[in-house]
């Protein structure tokens, strides 16, 4: 146990500070590559759709205008949500959750796991936490030296504990958590709509080009095959030399259709999964309850984490009274409002409107009047209290 709570920040022998700094910057730059890839694909899709399809291919001015306006609206909302997911200000866990030096020394000096558990339990007795580890202990992060608030988890990529952490997303180079979950949902939703819109509007041209290609192949290539001029056919195929000019533009449109289709399939499944999580007030990591015990050495921690991921992927969050997969659920619509806020006008806009502060969550099982927790009057009162995070120092739902 003593070794597990020590914060081992000492560099291994022979590993100089300069190399460490260099590695750190390389790692930071490397983490932006997926974002760069997404931005490159969006930029190319803009060229393929606006220049090649709308300007060079579509002949009707009305159709051009309608497509361009709708496309740009979707692109702006998609880009705005993406930007806010990436650059959302992820607030740190308040200092009151951090173990002071004196408590940490006591914890390190404790001889048994039970003694350590008691020290943490005493420290956390005034903190508003209701979840526990599988063994019933207070959830503690030995790297950040703090008691984890409910639904907070340690992110090994960000090297810190994050409030209501869902997962670390490489495509946004940020943790998806309490502070940007709404933005992430909107990003997925708008990205899906963007892909579906490109697919739907490119489809007629995709079909037309396919027919042109078949006609050209029938008129030229098939005859060449009969004559045995296979190499000429290959060149024709590679150069896109069929029918009229602007064949390169056609390839951009056809390729845009396929890329949009590929992204729509993956985004659709991810968006559907997160809609399920929102409706049930769960996070990806809520289902991954850690088995890490306070006294486990690092090797055992890794093993138990793998075991957790493989075998316990759908275990429910653990409360004092036991595991409860719906422990934070307050009804599908209220769960939705907990993320998207109380104002329908702002549901689709990437501005922060989530309820609460990411530290305290209403738990129906702890409430004497569980029915009233999901009543509209209660939500109205909560709505008044639940101002955006930035506008207040701290808050709780104690009065709910």
Could you tell me if residue 14 is left (phi over 0), alpha (psi between -120 and 50 degrees) or otherwise beta?
A: left
Query: Which residue lies nearer to Zn ion by CB, 75 or 147?
Result: 147
CA–CA separation, 14 and 17 (whole Å): 10
Report the residue number, 139 or 252, with the smaller CB distance to Zn ion: 139
Q: Measured from the CB of residue 160, what is the shortest distance to Zn ion in angstroms? A: 6
Closest contact distance (angstroms) between CB of 323 and Zn ion is: 22
Minimum distance from residue 292 beta carbon to Zn ion (Å): 11
**Binding-site size, Zn ion (CB under 5 A):** 10
Q: Are 289 and 311 contacting, i.e. CB atoms less than 8 angstroms apart? A: no
End-to-end CA, the chain:
38
Report the residue number, 90 or 360, with the smaller CB distance to Zn ion: 90
Residue 94 contacts residue 359 (beta carbons within 8 Å): yes
Specify the residue, 147 or 195, whose C-beta has the smaller distance to Zn ion. Answer: 147
- Asked if residues 283 and 175 have their Cβ atoms less than 8 Å apart, the reply is no
Q: Using alpha carbons, list the distances in angstroms from residue 87 to 32, 90, 263.
A: 12, 9, 23
User: Which of the ranges 25-33, 135-143, 232-240, 252-260 carries the binding residues for Zn ion, by CB under 5 A?
Assistant: 135-143
Q: How far is the CB of 278 from Zn ion (least distance, A)?
A: 20
Query: C-beta of 157: minimal distance to Zn ion in Å?
Result: 4
Binding mask 172-191 for Zn ion (x = CB under 5 A): ---x----------------
Distance in Å, CB of 166 to Zn ion, minimum: 10
Contacting residues for 35 by C-beta, under 8 A, at least 6 apart: 86, 171, 172, 173
Binding mask 136-175 for Zn ion (x = CB under 5 A): -----x-xx---------xx-xx--x------x------x
Q: Calculate helix-pair angle for 61-87, 33-46, nearest 10 degrees.
A: 170
Query: How far apart are alpha carbons 43 and 39 in whole angstroms?
Result: 6
Q: How far is the CB of 317 from Zn ion (least distance, A)?
A: 18
Q: Residues 216, 243: contact at Cβ < 8 Å?
A: yes
Identify which of residues 175 and 192 has a Cβ nearer to Zn ion in the complex.
Answer: 175
CB closer to Zn ion out of 149 and 364: 149
Give catalytic residues, as residue numbers: 169
Instruction: Please tell me whether residue 256 binds Zn ion under the rule CB under 5 A.
Output: no
Distance CA 325, CA 16 (A): 47
Nearest CB to Zn ion, comparing residues 330 and 359: 359
Site string for Zn ion, 27-56 (x = CB under 5 A): ------------------------------
Residues contacting residue 332 through CB under 8 Å, at least 6 positions apart: 279, 280
Site residues (vs Zn ion, CB under 5 A)? 141, 143-144, 154-155, 157-158, 161, 168, 175
């Amino acid at each position: 146990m003593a070794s597990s709570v020590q914060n081992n920040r000492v560099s291994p022998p022979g590993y100089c500070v300069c190399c460490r700094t260099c590695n750190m910057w390389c790692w930071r730059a490397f983490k932006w590559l997926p974002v760069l890839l997404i931005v490159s694909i969006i930029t190319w899709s803009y060229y393929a759709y606006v220049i090649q399809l709308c300007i060079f291919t579509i002949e009707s001015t009305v159709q051009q205008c309608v497509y361009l306006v709708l496309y740009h609206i979707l692109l702006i909302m998609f880009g705005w949500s993406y930007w806010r997911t990436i650059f959302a200000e992820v607030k740190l866990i308040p200092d009151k959750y951090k173990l002071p030096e004196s408590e940490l020394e006591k914890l390190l000096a404790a001889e048994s796991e039970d003694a350590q558990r008691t020290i943490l339990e005493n420290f956390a007795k005034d903190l508003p936490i209701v979840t526990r580890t599988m063994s019933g202990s207070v959830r503690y992060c030995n790297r950040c030296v703090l008691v984890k608030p409910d639904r907070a988890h340690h992110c090994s990529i960000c090297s810190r504990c994050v409030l209501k952490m869902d997962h670390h997303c490489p495509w946004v180079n940020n943790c998806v958590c309490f502070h940007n979950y709404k933005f992430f949902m909107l990003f997925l939703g708008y990205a899906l709509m963007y892909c579906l819109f490109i697919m739907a509007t490119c489809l007629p041209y995709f079909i037309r080009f396919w027919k042109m290609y078949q006609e050209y192949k029938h008129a030229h290539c098939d005859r060449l095959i009969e004559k045995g001029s296979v190499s000429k056919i290959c060149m024709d195929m590679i150069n896109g030399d069929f029918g009229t000019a602007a064949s390169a533009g056609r390839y951009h449109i056809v390729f845009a259709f396929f890329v949009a289709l590929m992204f729509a399939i993956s985004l659709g499944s991810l968006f559907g999964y997160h809609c399920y999580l929102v409706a049930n007030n769960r996070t990806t990591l809520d289902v991954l309850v850690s088995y890490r015990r306070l006294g486990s050495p690092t090797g055992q921690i890794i093993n138990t984490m793998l075991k957790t991921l493989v075998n316990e992927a759908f275990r429910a969050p653990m409360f004092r009274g036991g595991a409860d997969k719906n422990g934070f659920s307050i009804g599908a619509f209220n769960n939705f409002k907990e993320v998207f806020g109380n104002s329908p006008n702002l549901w689709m806009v990437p501005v922060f409107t989530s309820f609460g502060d990411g530290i305290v969550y209403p738990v129906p099982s702890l409430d004497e009047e569980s029915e009233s927790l999901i009543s509209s009057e209660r939500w109205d009162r909560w709505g008044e209290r639940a101002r955006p995070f930035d506008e207040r120092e701290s808050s709780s739902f104690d009065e709910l």
